[in-house]
Structure 1
Amino acid sequence: MGNEGSNIFLLILFGSLLTLLMAGFIVTMVLIHRSRQIKNKQKLESLKAEFEKTILNVEKEIQEETLNHVGRELHDNIGQLLSLTKLTLNSTKDDKVYEGKLLINQVIKEVRTLSKTLNLDWVETVDLETFIRKELDKLEQLEFCKIEFETKGELQDFENSRKLVLIRVIQECLNNAIKHAKPKLIRVDLNFISEHLEVLITDNGIGFDTTKESNGSGMHNLKSRMKTIGGTIEIDSNLGKGTQIKLLLPN
């Protein structure tokens, strides 16, 4: 009888300990889960803040470039047209008056075009293929180097904020090639793949050592920007053998 009582007591004690262990395990798992949730939330908030900061920086840079462009256009283009219009309208000849009216219409058209560039609404209406073609057309018109451009796959569009950052990254890559690479050829491949977008920017310029710190800061900035929109950038360059930059952005 005493043994049975002892056995029952041990079973109760063992059950109680097991229950406490199970309760402790559950509480620990709940605390770990909540801790992970908090960390994930903080990480998401940090990424969101970084993304918003990147967007603001990109918008600021593009707006500054736009204002510089507007200033040049006002001085070199519209200012010249207005001066020419004034001289033309000062004449009493009928054909000069008609010519002056045509010049005024041209000035109005130029001003409307400039007004569109003062905001970033164009990001919503432009697609990547059109944007890249325009950027490459500028180089071709300047006869800077030979240009090649090819697209593959079905055209896709992205959220405006992501597209804006991607546009800025592509601009920076092209600008770096123009400033530093001394290429005879710049080629851009725009590949719309089912899972992601791939942009290849290739030049046959002088190349550079990707391990050097002097070249690292700019590239770090590009990598950081691609990261904020969920993309990646891969850079393959060797001295004397040109550079290829691969941008990958999931759909």
Structure 2
Amino acid sequence: MEKDGKDLFVVILLGFFLMLFMVSFIVIIVVIHRKRQVQNQQKILNLKAEYEKTILNVELEIQEETLGYVGRELHDNIGQLLSLTKLNLSSSKPEKIQEGRHLIGMVIKEVRALSKTLNLDWVEGISLGEYFQKELNKLDQIGFCKTQFKVEGQEIKLIKEKKLVLIRVFQECLNNAVKHSEAQLILVSMVNTSDCLELTFKDDGNGFDLSVPSSGLGLLNLSKRMETIGGKMVIQTKRGTGTEIKLTLPLSIA
């Protein structure tokens, strides 16, 4: 009987320790799971904050460029139109007065066009293809270099924020080519598939060494901006062989 009592005590003791072990194990699992949940939530908050910061910076940069453009237009274009208007309206000749009225109409039209550019809502009303073609045409018109633009597939509809980032990255790629490449030809292609949007920017210019830090916004910064909207940027270049920049944005998160 005494032995049976000891065996029972040992079994109960073992059962107690086993139960204690199981409870401890469950508590540890719950604590680890909770910790991971908190870490994941913090990661999500950080990504959201980075995304919002990227969008804000892009909007500010585009607004600054827009204001610079508006300033030049006011001085060079509208200012000249107003001067001509003043000269014509100061004349007593009917044909000059009529010309002055026509110029006033042109001034009103130009001011309305400028007022639209001050609001970034224009981004929602233009397709990426239209915008890229417009920017490349500017280079053709000033005779900087030849450009070609090719589009394949039906363009993907993007939300304003992601479109802004793509526009800004495109602007910087174009600016870098203008400032540093000495290119004779710039080729841009946009391929829209069921999976993603793929934008390729290629020039036949000087190329550069990727290991050397860049000026301006910097290629690393542009790459991070693409990552913020779920995309990526890949660069292929070396001195004397031109540069190819490929931007990819998955359709599932566009």
Q: Which moved more, 1:5-14 or 1:86-95?
A: 5-14
SS at match of 2:106: helix
Q: Residue 174 in 1 paired to residue 170 in 2?
A: no
Deviation at 1:104, TM superposition (A): 0.7
Deviation at 1:8, TM superposition (A): 2.9
Mapping 1:96-107, distance limit 5 Å: 96-107=96-107
Equivalent residue for 1:133? 133
SS at match of 2:198: strand
SS at match of 1:84: helix
Q: Residue 6 in 1 paired to residue 1 in 2?
A: no
- Counterpart code for 1:51: Y
Shift of the 34–216 alpha-carbon distance from structure 1 to 2, 3 Å rule, reads farther
SS at match of 2:209: coil
- Counterpart code for 1:182: E
Gap regions ≥5 residues in structure 1: none
Q: For 2:76 and 2:191, how far apart are their aligned partners in 1?
A: 38
Equivalent residue for 2:67? 67
Q: For 1:214 and 1:70, how far apart are their aligned partners in 2?
A: 29
Q: Residue 146 in 1 paired to residue 119 in 2?
A: no
Equivalent residue for 1:163? 163
So what's the TM-score if we normalise by structure 1? Answer: 0.95
Q: Which moved more, 1:215-224 or 1:148-157?
A: 215-224
Deviation at 1:216, TM superposition (A): 10
Kept after mapping to 2: 8 A contact 1:226/1:233: yes
Kept after mapping to 2: 8 A contact 1:124/1:160: yes
Deviation at 1:241, TM superposition (A): 0.6
Equivalent residue for 2:201? 201
**Identity across matched positions, percent:** 57
SS at match of 2:149: strand
SS at match of 1:121: helix
Deviation at 1:24, TM superposition (A): 1.2
Q: For 2:216 and 2:119, how far apart are their aligned partners in 1?
A: 32
SS at match of 1:239: coil
Kept after mapping to 2: 8 A contact 1:189/1:200: yes
Deviation at 1:2, TM superposition (A): 3.6
SS at match of 2:162: helix
- Counterpart code for 1:32: I
Shift of the 204–124 alpha-carbon distance from structure 1 to 2, 3 Å rule, reads same
Q: Residue 113 in 1 paired to residue 113 in 2?
A: yes
Deviation at 1:53, TM superposition (A): 1.4
Q: For 1:150 and 1:193, how far apart are their aligned partners in 2?
A: 14
Shift of the 227–21 alpha-carbon distance from structure 1 to 2, 3 Å rule, reads same
Equivalent residue for 2:250? 250
Shift of the 123–230 alpha-carbon distance from structure 1 to 2, 3 Å rule, reads same
Q: For 1:198 and 1:9, how far apart are their aligned partners in 2?
A: 72
Kept after mapping to 2: 8 A contact 1:210/1:216: no
Residue by residue, what CA displacement relative to the aligned partner does 1:172-203 show, whole Å, maximum 9, x if unpaired? 01110111111111011101122221110000
Shift of the 63–217 alpha-carbon distance from structure 1 to 2, 3 Å rule, reads closer
SS at match of 2:233: strand
- Counterpart code for 2:18: L
SS at match of 2:200: strand
Gap regions ≥5 residues in structure 2: none
Shift of the 180–57 alpha-carbon distance from structure 1 to 2, 3 Å rule, reads same
Q: Residue 21 in 1 paired to residue 21 in 2?
A: yes
Deviation at 1:30, TM superposition (A): 1.0
Equivalent residue for 2:88? 88
So what's the TM-score if we normalise by structure 2? Answer: 0.94
Shift of the 109–216 alpha-carbon distance from structure 1 to 2, 3 Å rule, reads closer
CA RMSD between the two structures = 1.5
